Amino acid sequence: MKVVSAGLTDVGRKRNHNEDSFLIDEELQLYVVADGMGGHAGGGTASRIAVETIDRELRSAREVGDNPFKGETNLQDSPLPEFLRSAVEKACIEIFKAAQDDPRLNGMGTTVISLLVKGNHALFAHVGDSRAYLVRGDLIQQISEDHSLVNEQIKAGMITPDEAKHSRYKNIITRSVGFEEEVQVDVMGLLAEQNDAFILCSDGLANLVDDKEIREIISGSSDIKDAPKKLIELANERGGDDNITVIVVKTVA
C-alpha cells in the first residue's frame, strides 16, 4: 500500500522556543512525533535524540541477516512491532545517558508517538500523551492511550473527559522516554484500508482541537499536505499555548 504524508511543527503563541521534533522517513514509511520536556536545552535535545535514534535503529535493522522488512507476514507474526519497540527503548537509553553526561540536560525526557507502515500493516509505538488518530470515512478514532494523570483519573471515574480538558494537571504525564533509563512502550497494530488517514500529533494540538474538528479538516482537505497547516492554524487561533506538531499519513491506491 502506498502512502502520502506531510508534517509541520510550530512554536505556538505562548512559547519562545520549540521542544518538539518530528520525522518523516518516506523510504522506510516511518513517522515520529516527539514532544520534549526539560527546558530550553533539555526538551529539544531529548526529542531530537528520540527521532534520530528511532530512525537509525530501524534503518540498521534492514542490514541484519533476518531483515524484518523483507517478506510478507500476517500482522500477528510480523517481527516489526518488536523492532519498533526496541528502537524506542534504545532512544530512552540514549537520552538518559546524554542527561547523565551533561548536568544542563538533567531530567530531560520526551513523549514518542511513532507509526511504521509496511504493506497494509500500520504499526504504532507510543509513550506519553502525544497521540495517534485514525480517520476512516466519517469516523475518527484515537489509536493511542494517553499516559497522563488526567487519563488515569478518567479511567478511575474521578473526573469526566470534559473536566480533564480544563484540569490544571492535564500536562502531567506518567511515562516519558529518557527520564529514566528504561520505559514501558505500548505497541499496537492494525490493518490499513485504502484512503485511511493517520494523524500523529503533540498535545499542543490535541488539547485545543477536538476529534470531530480533526476529522473535518482531514476529510475537507483536497491535498493532504494542506492538513497539518490547517490544524496548526486552528490550535493557534485558540491560544496556541504549547508547541504544535502534526504529521498526516494517508494510504492511497
Residue 166: per-residue pLDDT = 82
* Residue-level pLDDT at 186: 98
Separation CA 133–CA 165 (nearest Å): 18
Question: Within 10 A of 241 (CB to CB), how many other CB atoms are there?
Answer: 16
Strands 186-191 and 121-127: antiparallel
Q: pLDDT below 50 — which residues of the chain?
A: none
pLDDT score at 63: 85
User: Residue 85 in 3-state DSSP?
Assistant: helix
pLDDT of residue 41: 78
Q: How many Cα atoms sit within 13 Å of 178 on the Cβ side? A: 34
Phi, psi of 225 (to 5 degrees): -70, -15
90-111 pLDDT, tens digit each: 999 999 999 999 999 999 999 9
**Confidence at residue 253, expressed as pLDDT on a 0 to 100 scale:** 72
Question: In total, how many domains does the chain have?
Answer: 1
Domain hosting 106: range is: 2-252
125: domain CATH number is: 3.60.40.10
List the 139-142 sheet strands across, edge first: 2-10, 244-252, 197-201, 131-136, 139-142
pLDDT of residue 199: 98
Which letter does DSSP use for residue 174 in this model?
Answer: S
pLDDT of the residue at 69: 86
Q: Where are the alpha helices (DSSP H) in 102-222?
A: 149-155, 161-165, 203-206, 211-220
